[in-house]
Amino acid sequence: MSAEPVWDGDFADPFLIRTDDGYVGYATSPVAVESGAALRGLVSPDLRTWSDAGPVLDVDGSFGTTLWAPEVVEADGAWWMYYSAGFDIAGHHLRVARADAPTGPFVDQGVNLTPDEPFAIDATVLTDVDGARYLYYAHDVLDAERPGTHLAMRRLLSPTRLDDEVVPVLAPNADWQIYERDRAMYGRTFDWHTLEGPTVVRRGDAYALIYSGGSWEGPDYGVSYATAPSPAGPWTHAGGEAPLLLSRALTGLDGPGHNSLLQLADGSWITAYHAWDAAGTRRQLHLAPVTWDGPHPRVELDR
């Protein structure tokens, strides 16, 4: 796979699934959606040729007009989309929509999954070997050594219901994860750090959590990872001073990040991620192979 984008349009925060017919991709909406059809999808028979699948989600706009980072899982005989909704960057919370097919139409189930969180985004689901499901996401934590957006987990009791316990998963540990210094948030000022875009996979008896850090708007956004012996942790950062998997230094691209992982039919793995185009106006879809050493991933980049 080359370093060139596989789709010319904006396709930020990409998430791919494999189906009997090929592959389906989902991404953040590049514009606010007041009501109606939203979150355009892509389909591909081979990961090389992509076509527009049209809007995949129906919304009414009452609970949010900015829709971010959809991820889709198959469970209980249906397809379930987890995404965040808010107004501009405020009030984002996690929601769930249901469809009978992976290209939709997904219908929001009328459930705010995180009503007690002032800000929650970037849901991802781990289905473990025993069938238990865990929802990981990003939320704001103010009283911490490095305040900002951290990662958390809650058990999925059903596709539309979460356990009440919020399990802290991962906090920022390095300056490369700073979103903005002296950022005004919640009536205070912080050197605001951000971890977001988690994706979690089991590798043998261990777990890998891949995440993005820093500011999505800038060129130094990047991807690193942590490992743990169980879905609840404890999670250990794999590195500190720089992102280990995707960065401008590693890829030659500005702002590579918010990736997802996909295992192919032959057992190999790829990652889908976005990066800014040369003009800095679109976040485009890129693909790269991933290899593993136990729970430790490596993105095989072809520059």
303: pLDDT strictly greater than 70:
no
Question: 281 pLDDT band (50/70/90 cuts)?
Answer: very high
Let me know: does 171 contact 195? Beta carbons within 8 Å: yes
pLDDT of 110 above 90:
yes
Instruction: State the pTM of this model.
Output: 0.97
pLDDT of residue 302: 79
The fraction of the chain above a pLDDT of 70, given in percent, is 98
Quote the CA–CA distance of 64 and 120 in Å, as a whole number. 13
Q: Mean pLDDT across the stretch 286-290?
A: 98
Mean per-residue pLDDT for 198-209?
98
Domains in the chain with CATH codes: 15-299 (2.115.10.20)
Q: Higher-confidence residue: 61 or 290?
A: 290
Length of the chain: 303
Q: What is the pLDDT of residue 33?
A: 84
Full DSSP string of 245-268? SB-HHHHSSSS-EEEEEEE-TTS-
Taking the C-alpha atoms of residue 205 and residue 229, their distance in angstroms, rounded to an integer, is 7
Q: Strand runs (DSSP E) across 89-238, as ranges?
A: 90-99, 106-112, 120-127, 133-141, 148-158, 161-162, 167-170, 178-185, 188-203, 206-213, 222-228, 236-237
Residue 58's pLDDT is what? Answer: 87
pLDDT confidence tier of residue 38, bands split at 50, 70 and 90: confident
Measured between alpha carbons, how far is 114 from 139 in angstroms, rounded to an integer?
Answer: 10
So what's the pLDDT on residue 2? 54
Tens of pLDDT, residue by residue over 137-171, are: 999 999 999 999 999 999 999 999 999 999 999 99
Confidence of residue 203 (pLDDT cuts 50, 70, 90): very high
Two tokens, residue 42: 């892509």
- Whether the predicted pLDDT of 36 surpasses 80: no
For the stretch 84-109, pLDDT in tens is: 999 999 899 999 999 999 999 999 99
